[in-house]
Amino acid sequence: MKRFFVFLAAFVPSLYTAKAQLTIDHLDQVAIANSGQCYYPLTVGPLPYNYASYDIGVSSSVTHDPSKINVGVEGYVYDDTSASQYFGVRGVAYPYSSTTNGCFYGLTGIYSGLGASSGTGILGAVGYSTYVQAPNIQGKYAGYFLGNAHVSSNMSASQVYTTSDMRLKENVIALREIESGQATLDKIMAMKVYEYNLKDKGEYDLDKEAVSRIKEEQPELLDEISSRKAVFEAQRHYGVAAQELQSVYPNLVRKAEDGYLTVNYLEMIPILIRGIQELSRNIDEVKEKHGKVARDGNMLAQDR
């Protein structure tokens, strides 16, 4: 290690004076591989803008090369040991107390969306192939995800769309009134609807080391976590039992990676629509029979 520092001390002056690739200004701010613009503690590559209103620790950029995949910052971690956690890039926003004002962002991805270009602020993917070549995204997105996405708490959206274009479907059949000897309406009527509380799967539990660290650095956070857990445990929910639904509509039930069963409630909507159609037709048949009985009664009264 000492030899490395000796080499670095001998190498830096020559690099700084000969090629001007490394610049250190009077504020000890460092610029690497640019024209010597030291705006932040560490600037790597050509600086496109000087964000005077920003306090940035590290700024990194690349010169556009259309023949390559251009990456400003890459975080890569690889190991074949049994370590429990790996982070390619980790962003932490840490207010010191509950009275701290302002907005904190652990990780921010911004896509300007100018012109006819397509892209995304954040690309999340499962699979090594995406590291080699990013997908050809059509459209403009704040976030684009290839693979399953999991949200352990609430998720809100002003609108939700699912792919349903007939051009992307095959083996299409109409949902029959009688399927496997049972009407859709009968299957719906057989479903039980429950009101319940969800059990905590340990997402609010902290180990002793974490509790000790939080008590030392940010003790009020423990109260906030406890409050969130209390709200979660008190919240009442409504739904069906996946095990029961699986026996009627197995395609609406999927086993998640953690082994628990999940329900596709969105695809229950077409089934409910079909049930309403059957119910409407049954009502029409009753009305028709009632009208025929009434007409027959009137005819009998007239004959008398």
Largest CA distance in the chain: 123
Per residue in 233-261, pLDDT (tens digit) is 888 999 999 999 999 999 999 998 889 99
The CA-CA-CA angle for residues 151, 155, 158, to 5°, reads 145
Q: Which residues pair with 119 in a beta bridge?
A: 140
Instruction: Kindly give the pairing relationship between strand 178-179 and strand 182-183.
Output: antiparallel
Per residue in 191-211, pLDDT (tens digit) is 999 999 988 877 767 777 777
| Domain positions in the chain | 1-60, 175-280
Fold of 175-280: Arc Repressor Mutant, subunit A (1.10.10)
What is the chain's alpha carbon radius of gyration, rounded to the nearest angstrom? 31
Give residue 13's pLDDT.
Answer: 41
Per residue in 49-100, pLDDT (tens digit) is 666 677 777 777 777 777 877 777 777 777 767 777 888 888 888 777 666 7
Name which of 247, 242, 284 is nearest 261 in CA terms: 242
- Residues 263-274 have a mean pLDDT of 94
Give residue 92's pLDDT.
Answer: 82
In this structure, the dihedral spanned by the alpha carbons of residues 193, 195, 201 and 207, taken in order and rounded to 10 degrees, is 180
Per residue in 145-191, pLDDT (tens digit) is 888 888 877 888 888 888 899 999 999 888 876 555 678 888 999 89
Predicted structure pTM score: 0.66
Residue 222 scores a pLDDT above 80:
no
| Rounded Cα–Cα distance for residues 13 and 15 (Å) | 5
